[in-house]
Structure 1
Amino acid sequence: MPTAPHPQNTDELYQALQENQRRPYGRTRTVTAEELVDAAEQFEDPVPLVRALLELQEAYTYGSEPRKSPVVFARLLTLFDEQPDVFDERLRHMLFWRFKWVSNALRALPEIPLTSLRQWLTEMRDRYEKAGLGLQPYYGEAYQLAAHVGEDTTLAYELWAARTRTRLSDCEACEICRRARHHLTAGDDERALRAWEPVLAGQESCQEEPARSLSYALLPLLRTGRAERARELHLAGYRGCRRNPSMSSEVGRHLEFCALTGNEARGLELLAENRNLFDEVDSPLDQLDFLTGVEVLLQRVELLGHGELPAAGYAGRTWTAGGLRAEVRSRADDLAARFDARNTTTAHTDRRRDRLDRAPLLDTLELTLRTRSLDDVTPAVPAAPAAVGPAPAVPESLTELILRTRALDEQGHPDARACWARLRTLVAARDYTHPDDPAVGPVARLRADLLAEEANRAHEQDRFTDAAALNEEAAALYDDAGAPGDAALTRAGLLLANAEILAEGADGPEAKATALTDAHASMVRTHEETPGLTPHQEARLLRLRATALALRLQTTRSQEHVAAVFAEADLLRAFAARHDIAGQISGAHLLRATTYAISGDLPAAVTEADALLDRLTAHGPAWHLPRTLGLRGRIRLVLQDAQAAYTDLAEGLRLAADWPADAVGTTRLHADLAEACMHLGRPEEALRHLTRAAELDLRHGNRTDAYCTYSNAAQLSLDLGRVEDCIALLDSLLAEPDVAAGELDDRLVAQLRLTRARALHTGEDLKAATAEFVALAAESAGWDDDRGSHAVIAAETAVLLAESGEFARAREAADQALAAHAEDPRYEHLSNSLRELARLQAQQQGADGLPDALAVLADAGRIADEARAAGYEAHGRSLDTALAYEHGRVNAFAGAYEDALAALDKALTLLGEPGRDDDRAGEWAECVRLAGVVEGLYLERPAPALTRLDAAVVRLTALGHTEETEALTSLAARLRDEE
């Protein structure tokens, strides 16, 4: 493990201690603290050793190593007894504060006798009395011991809670939690929640709060009917304790919460995210709490019949939920028994039993935007994507199954997919015996059928290379089986897949069009040269021919390619009508409607879709209704009739519920409904449809599409202010195995991480957000093909570093952004970030930061000049106006008031006075207000400031912008009062 350089003097030691204190708690911080204690012992001055020991005890305490914390404290206490003058007021305060840490550590160790715990409390009381300190902290520890042991806590609670707090009392948030838990133990949920409210509302906090209180409040919130509040606090609270060894108990309660609200799948996900806690938690008491929460979850998973699901557990072996539950139960029972033996009560065994005996409090509660059941959690990618929808009946007889599957496949029936999946499993078995039945044909034909079906699914998922290989193999097997018609179909599929592969690598639409034209010509030859085609085979060939031309039209959008598509579609429609092949008649109409839409004749496309819907309603097939309604809905969206589109898409989704989702386009219906909802101003509903679409894509193996859709959902949730939902969703996605293994496109992963970093920033977790931005900026520096994205990321990184007061690093990040911007301009984003960086520096450093802030604004000025020269128009106010306003703010923060006023006057000139329907009124009024503050208050020239303000109020009032006048009127009143 890397260690810090050995300090050679006390200054270096103190610097190393400060650097270590910035590290997260864990082995790296603890090992470094141990080394710094060794280094401190070389100095004659004992103060460095005291400080190093204090840091080491903190590392042990918050790194969940209670056995070591008291040993370090004993050294500190000895130093204090021997050299009390070494401890100044601050060090003395820290020493007496940590008596409580030792109490907590000793309680957590069942090998420490109860008499020793009581002796330690006596030691604490004696020390406090000798030092003239109030005893409220001592009584707080006495109460905690009584509660831990399981004694009657009535008197102990009153002796503690009724006393006046002292400087050494635990923080208000921690004491609130303790009082609330006392009421909770007494069975009074409402009183507990009332006591907790200041912490739950964010009014009181500390290092471990509100995360600790949030975990305890979850179940009482459910029991009192506040499920939505519990959901919110679960998301916020879990993020505050995940992977943290010193908060493993809290993680256990979040796992329990998942188990009791129908969220067992999320519980398993969180368990996997916290697998480190099985090995890194050295506190037996924390282990007991954590393992009990784990067991509640795994017990529920087993009861639901999913004991064979994989579960994350102790290192060194692979666990199932059932196997891990047995291991956890054994360890937790042993721990509870050890504590009860020490305490001479049954309190810990009883508490464990109470938790394990709880029935679910809700059947289901949507905790996150990504809601999954245990049925959706699989150990590996299945051979065939799981269908979502009613399960079709699959024949038991193998012969009947093969014949039924082929018949369904001829019809294009959605139930064929489940039958193919069943056949694939049977044929892959070692003991498979092929039926000796002429109606079934040889095994080579069946294997070819399975390959052809797999090829079709690969094509649907745009895995064209896989589709080509599978079709080629299937065609050879069909030849061996004496099935020339089926061989022709698979070769047509091969032609289409190869055309798609060529199109993907082609340079420009014309090259793509050529590949599809050639594929169509080859299909026509195959069609003409293959004798003995059945009507269904010939209809499928006609459909593939039309599809090739439709794809060509979609590629070129050229009117000269329209007629050819209609000709093929009409040929298909006529042939299918002659042979009464309903599915292909419908397919021909769908092609015609789509062709009208692509060619720009939207009314004709709607008319065609209307006619098809009438036909489908009368003659079927019913499973084509959802796709057809979806097509008409999309066309109506383009026609800007969002309400009609919503009606079609919602009806399509309702009908799609009767069929497997991947067979009727359910995913696309959800995605299109999301767009319709956004047009109708219903973003929350849009968010639900986006997440449903994404999860369906994941289930069906379309992982890149799924992550893209989820990325959009995450951004929408952030835009809606659902910060914790956004973070929880992205945490779940980034924990997916293919993401963790680096198998997903790195740019898509970076986009997910970028949205998460922005959400962390919005959620005021500046430290975590900055760390993620810094990491992304470093990674994106190597994106030579996308310098603009690096410019954006580096610019935002600079702002976050500035918020943390790290202006030197912020300047470095800004320089990286400027260099990347020079290669791939991002005018507005860079300008916004640079102005914000300058504002932060002037705001935090005042006059001392003014030169650097003005240098940053000079860079923003050059960007504004470049944008103007390039003819770039900003989406909001002009970059020049924004820059002038920022010059005003920066100079005002630095005390350069004359320069500030001049800059604000320039900004007002650039803005121009607002009009009646002008959305610039608010911005103009704010600029006037700030100019009034600078002129009237800072420069102490109230008369001209009042003239400015009064004129602005008159103007805005005349234009009907009365709301914008409120701040101006208030400032004017203040200036008049001060005259």
Structure 2
Amino acid sequence: MPTAPHPQSTDELYQALKENDRRPYGRTRTVTAEELVDAAEQFAEPVPLVHALLELQEAYTYGSEPRKSPVVFARLLTLFDEQPDVFDDRLRHMLHWRFKWVGHALRQLPEIPLASLRQWLTEMRDRYEKAGLGLQPYYGQAYQLAAHVGEDTTLAYELWAGRTRTRLSDCEACEICERALYHLTAGDDERALRVWEPVLAGKESCQEEPARSLSYALLPLLRTGRADRARELHLTGYRGCRRNPSMSGEVGRHLEFCALTGNEARGLELLAENRNLFDEVASPLDQLDFLTGVEVLLQRVEGLGHGDLPAAGYPGRTWTVAGLRAEVRGRADDLAARFDARNGTTAHTDRRTSRLDRAPLLDALELTLRTRSLDDVAPPAPIAAPTVRTAATVPDELPELILHARELEEQGHPDAHVCWARLRALSAARDYTHPDDPAVGPLVQLRADLLADEAGRASAKDEHAEAVALHEEAAALYDDAGLPGHAALARACALLAGAELPAQGADGAEAKAAALTAAHASIVRLQEETPGLARDLEARLLRLRVTALALRLQTSGSEEHVAPVFAEVDLLHTFATRHDIAGQISGALLLRASTYAISGDLPAAVAEIGALLDRLKAHGPAWHLPRTLGLRGRLQLGLRDAQAAYADLTEGLRLAADWPADALDTTRLHGDLAEACMHLGRPDEALRHLTRSAELDLRRGSRTDAFCTYSNAAQLSLDLGRIEDSIALLDSLLAEPDVTAGELDDRLVAQLRLTRARALHAGEDLKAATAEFVALAAESADWKDDPGSHAMIAAETAVLLGESGEFGRAREAADQAIAAHAQDPRYEQLSSCLRELARLQTQQQGPDGLTDALAFLADAGRIADEARAAGYEGQGRSLDTALAYEHGRVNAYAGESEEALAALEKALGLLGEPGPQDARAGEWAECVRLAGAVEGIYLERPAAALTRLDAAVSHLTALGHTEDTEPLISLAARLRDEE
């Protein structure tokens, strides 16, 4: 099936070739190139055919199809021999350049005899000599063949590297890589890295560089103690080669790097992301390189005892690590043997063996913000008791275990979860026999206990509907067991969970408050109507009563709901104190402090918690300390005492480590600590706490919360300039199975993709960023409930398209943004977008772009009028001021200097002269500078410009804004020099 309309003229053909050139290398681009060659043959004109064949050879070369590239080149060479005049200087250059592509393609095919490779080199030499071209590129090919075969390369290297480069030499970046690899093969890591530095530093690049060099440099960097640099280049380099069939060897080296740095889990993640390479790499040499890197990873994972983990491999079947490793080993061994048979050496087998025999270079190197172990990627294990602290808390004998679990549950002890988990596993076994012990009670009671524990965990994860069902089922079983008090407690828990179910409609908060009022009344009745309640059960019912009213206060914020909470707290505290129930005493005091906080009296809340902490340290329970410190830390944040908050939260986190991770809300502690760190100017520490918080949410199954926190971490990482960290984190999240399957909230996924697109833009990957923005803009157009977000996304998309010079598409995206803005205004963002598009168009196109640029500014003017009419006040300078300034810049770029100066003077009038503490001083100075440049340079009025500049410098200096005077002084000096 054709991938594009069939060109009907040579102009349409050239346009189609141009559009295809923008596509990423891969099957779509290759198939389109094949179709365009067929189309070119219909025109009976050789030049369009030559261009189409060149595009097709490029698609084959970079699409990893080496068998087809030489065939296309043969057609080009025949055309050149038959009609040399068809080839202008540019086409002749491209033709001779691509002799190297063919040499590279032939080396990748073990079925091509070595004699044929040497014959091709002779052909290349003869052609170059006939054309009067320098032979350095030929000697470069001769050296690469010697290195490939495994011959002594000393002479071949000198014959190539010692020659002067020519116009047909490989680019500087590629030659640097070859020279570095020569030293690397000789075992000189330091010299190789010195040679590589211009590429590693981003000073030299090309189609395949620096991604190729980065992949080779990773292990030398580790061996020479530069682990941080290796980490940085792994993140950058992997992004440059992932999923790319023509760079499968580079992907393999990144997998190997993961395996040798304790990042086996990340390696498996990257392998899954690149599963297409098992099927799409048609180059045997690239296959060998890729598969060897895969085997290094799989061998390491299997050696660590995880051979049964799932692994992404060849399509058509499900693989484990061990099974895939065996398959990969067989295929790679065969490929190495075929190359060695062709070359008459053992070089490829020896290189494979050397890679597979490498020992890990580091036990652990934190590669990404999302650190994962092989245990994190293992399939869920059968429910069993956690391993932490179980020796002291879980009795071996079943009767003792059941009684101990109930005792801990009565106390609210965190280790109750450990015991219930163990009992859940034991009772689910087919051979389970319940103890015949009156103290233990019947099996139905244990079943009810387990359901109640499960319901409590569901509530903790805000899965309220499930919690209601589980509590009600537990209540029925307690009735069957003859335990009305336990049944009443379970029903009370169900009532509270039911009241927390999301309310529908605009008055959701009011409806929820009413539901909590009704739940409280029902719990009171349950308590009154249940005779013979045990003290612990009655205390827990009283606690539920307080909780219902506290949640109502939190929902409504109504002052009239404050006193009822305090009244219930007093009842609970009095009852718990009379019966010496320590956990409920501290619970009552904590609820009292929370009520003060919710009602807005933060100092009283902090004082209450101070007294509670003193009590907890003296009388316990100790497991209440982390939560209490966490609450005081949050209150200190509310009081803007970040240092005190940091101290409390850090101590809370330290104490929480003494208890099972899933029993205390350490997730919240990490999240609050991140906020405290941001207030204290410790963003890197905040980033660690955010990622830790998200990790804990993932482990307890709260995936939406986890992804939200990770999204915040990715944005913070981007704000800190850690662009590659941000991209790597987002790539990892977006590859999660529930994301790819469309099971996660689509708006949350869109936010992750939006942050990634912005990170790509910040990382100067304009092509990838634009593609993602365009996709997001198309999807968000259907968000009928959120046109404002679509306006924002479409506006950003338009700017990126403008940066790429695609102003037609940018205009379309801007029009979408304007239409969405009409439904949900985004004055600031849209005005900024339109002004930026105007600037970009005249900056890139000069006078030719002025008309379209002024149309953008006219739209921005209408936005400013709307904002003024709506009483909108933006941050910083007004939209009118910004618009006047942009008129100045646009006209200056277009050569309309008088209009530019008039617009800039209008902007200066709108800004007004800055005062002593005026934040606008920098903007005013820049406007003066541009006006001075237009007036003094373009309009050739240096005297007037100097008067303007000198006056501005004097004014700013008198106000103390000396840092803003430097550009003005510099421009004035230039104008004086030119006088």
Give matches, 1:104-503, under 5 Å. Answer: 104-379=104-379, 394-501=394-501, 503=503
Q: Residue 78 of structure 1: CA displacement? A: 2.2
User: In terms of mean alpha carbon deviation, does 964-973 or 30-39 score higher?
Assistant: 30-39
Alpha-carbon separation, structure 1, partners of 2:676 and 2:245: 46
The residue matched to 1:434 in structure 2 has which SS? coil
Tell me how many residue pairs correspond in the alignment: 978
Write the deviation string for residues 94-142 of structure 1: whole angstroms up to 9, x where unpaired.
1111111111111111222222222221222222222221111111111
Counterpart AA for 2:359:
A
Whether 1:802 aligns to 2:806 is: no
Residue pair 1:388, 1:660 contacting (<8 A) in 2 also = no
The residue matched to 1:661 in structure 2 has which SS? coil
Structure 1 24/866 Cα, relative in aligned 2: closer, same or farther at 3 Å?
same
Structure 1 149/285 Cα, relative in aligned 2: closer, same or farther at 3 Å?
same
Structure 1 786/163 Cα, relative in aligned 2: closer, same or farther at 3 Å?
same
Write the deviation string for residues 674-729 of structure 1: whole angstroms up to 9, x where unpaired.
11111111111111111111111111111111111111111111111111111111
Write the deviation string for residues 284-340 of structure 1: whole angstroms up to 9, x where unpaired.
111111111111111121222222221111111111222211211121122112222
The residue matched to 1:664 in structure 2 has which SS? coil
The residue matched to 2:439 in structure 1 has which SS? coil
Higher relative contact order (CA 8 A, sep 6+): 1
Who is 1:651 aligned against?
651
Alpha-carbon separation, structure 2, partners of 1:460 and 1:510: 23
Alpha-carbon separation, structure 2, partners of 1:883 and 1:470: 61
Alpha-carbon separation, structure 2, partners of 1:940 and 1:745: 60
Counterpart AA for 1:96:
H
Who is 1:638 aligned against?
638
Alpha-carbon separation, structure 2, partners of 1:789 and 1:385: 45
Alpha-carbon separation, structure 2, partners of 1:821 and 1:237: 39
Counterpart AA for 2:632:
R
Residue pair 1:629, 1:648 contacting (<8 A) in 2 also = yes
Write the deviation string for residues 824-880 of structure 1: whole angstroms up to 9, x where unpaired.
111111111111111111111211211221121111112112212222111121111
Q: Residue 12 of structure 1: CA displacement? A: 2.5
Write the deviation string for residues 914-966 of structure 1: whole angstroms up to 9, x where unpaired.
11222211111111000000000000011110000000111111111111111
Structure 1 180/825 Cα, relative in aligned 2: closer, same or farther at 3 Å?
same
The residue matched to 1:533 in structure 2 has which SS? coil
Who is 1:889 aligned against?
889
Residue pair 2:23, 2:29 contacting (<8 A) in 1 also = yes
Who is 1:756 aligned against?
756
Counterpart AA for 2:663:
A
Who is 2:960 aligned against?
960
Who is 1:95 aligned against?
95
Who is 1:717 aligned against?
717
Residue pair 1:386, 1:700 contacting (<8 A) in 2 also = no
Unaligned runs of 5+ in 2: none
Alpha-carbon separation, structure 2, partners of 1:880 and 1:8: 49
Residue pair 1:179, 1:195 contacting (<8 A) in 2 also = yes
Alpha-carbon separation, structure 2, partners of 1:580 and 1:327: 67
Q: Residue 753 of structure 1: CA displacement? A: 0.9
Residue pair 1:888, 1:900 contacting (<8 A) in 2 also = yes
Residue pair 2:385, 2:419 contacting (<8 A) in 1 also = no
Counterpart AA for 1:378:
A
Counterpart AA for 1:638:
G
Residue pair 1:661, 1:667 contacting (<8 A) in 2 also = no
Alpha-carbon separation, structure 2, partners of 1:762 and 1:353: 41
Write the deviation string for residues 319-374 of structure 1: whole angstroms up to 9, x where unpaired.
12222112111211221122222222221122112211212211211111111111
Give matches, 1:46-61, under 5 Å. Answer: 46-61=46-61
Counterpart AA for 2:884:
A
Counterpart AA for 1:615:
R
Alpha-carbon separation, structure 2, partners of 1:16 and 1:395: 75
Who is 1:520 aligned against?
520
Alpha-carbon separation, structure 1, partners of 2:667 and 2:390: 18
Residue pair 1:385, 1:701 contacting (<8 A) in 2 also = no
User: In terms of mean alpha carbon deviation, does 23-32 or 430-439 score higher?
Assistant: 430-439
User: In terms of mean alpha carbon deviation, does 89-98 or 933-942 score higher?
Assistant: 89-98
Who is 2:83 aligned against?
83
Compute the RMSD of aligned alpha carbons: 1.7
Counterpart AA for 2:784:
D
Give matches, 1:438-837, under 5 Å. Answer: 438-501=438-501, 503=503, 507-837=507-837
Counterpart AA for 1:196:
W
Q: Residue 14 of structure 1: CA displacement? A: 2.2
User: In terms of mean alpha carbon deviation, does 124-133 or 180-189 score higher?
Assistant: 124-133
Alpha-carbon separation, structure 1, partners of 2:41 and 2:934: 56
Write the deviation string for residues 254-298 of structure 1: whole angstroms up to 9, x where unpaired.
111111111111111111111101111111111111111111111
Alpha-carbon separation, structure 1, partners of 2:619 and 2:766: 61
Alpha-carbon separation, structure 1, partners of 2:484 and 2:552: 28
User: In terms of mean alpha carbon deviation, does 533-542 or 644-653 score higher?
Assistant: 533-542
Alpha-carbon separation, structure 2, partners of 1:700 and 1:735: 20
Alpha-carbon separation, structure 2, partners of 1:376 and 1:211: 29
Q: Residue 417 of structure 1: CA displacement? A: 2.0
Q: Residue 577 of structure 1: CA displacement? A: 2.7
Write the deviation string for residues 383-437 of structure 1: whole angstroms up to 9, x where unpaired.
8799796666544444343333222222222222233223333333444443333
Structure 1 386/752 Cα, relative in aligned 2: closer, same or farther at 3 Å?
farther
Give matches, 1:900-911, under 5 Å. Answer: 900-911=900-911
Q: Give TM-score scaled by structure 2 length.
A: 0.97
Structure 1 512/819 Cα, relative in aligned 2: closer, same or farther at 3 Å?
same
Quick one: percent identity of the two aligned structures?
A: 84
Who is 1:939 aligned against?
939
Residue pair 1:387, 1:662 contacting (<8 A) in 2 also = no
Counterpart AA for 2:408:
L
The residue matched to 1:910 in structure 2 has which SS? helix
Residue pair 2:385, 2:422 contacting (<8 A) in 1 also = no
The residue matched to 1:662 in structure 2 has which SS? coil
Residue pair 2:385, 2:421 contacting (<8 A) in 1 also = no
Give matches, 1:861-880, under 5 Å. Answer: 861-880=861-880
Residue pair 2:802, 2:837 contacting (<8 A) in 1 also = yes
Write the deviation string for residues 745-772 of structure 1: whole angstroms up to 9, x where unpaired.
1111111111111111111111111111
Counterpart AA for 1:293:
G
Alpha-carbon separation, structure 1, partners of 2:794 and 2:390: 50
Alpha-carbon separation, structure 1, partners of 2:265 and 2:66: 33
The residue matched to 1:501 in structure 2 has which SS? coil
Alpha-carbon separation, structure 2, partners of 1:797 and 1:125: 49
Alpha-carbon separation, structure 1, partners of 2:33 and 2:151: 38
Q: Residue 25 of structure 1: CA displacement? A: 1.0
Structure 1 521/193 Cα, relative in aligned 2: closer, same or farther at 3 Å?
same
Alpha-carbon separation, structure 1, partners of 2:551 and 2:472: 21
Who is 1:45 aligned against?
45
Alpha-carbon separation, structure 2, partners of 1:452 and 1:247: 55
Counterpart AA for 1:973:
A
Unaligned runs of 5+ in 1: none
Alpha-carbon separation, structure 2, partners of 1:279 and 1:300: 23
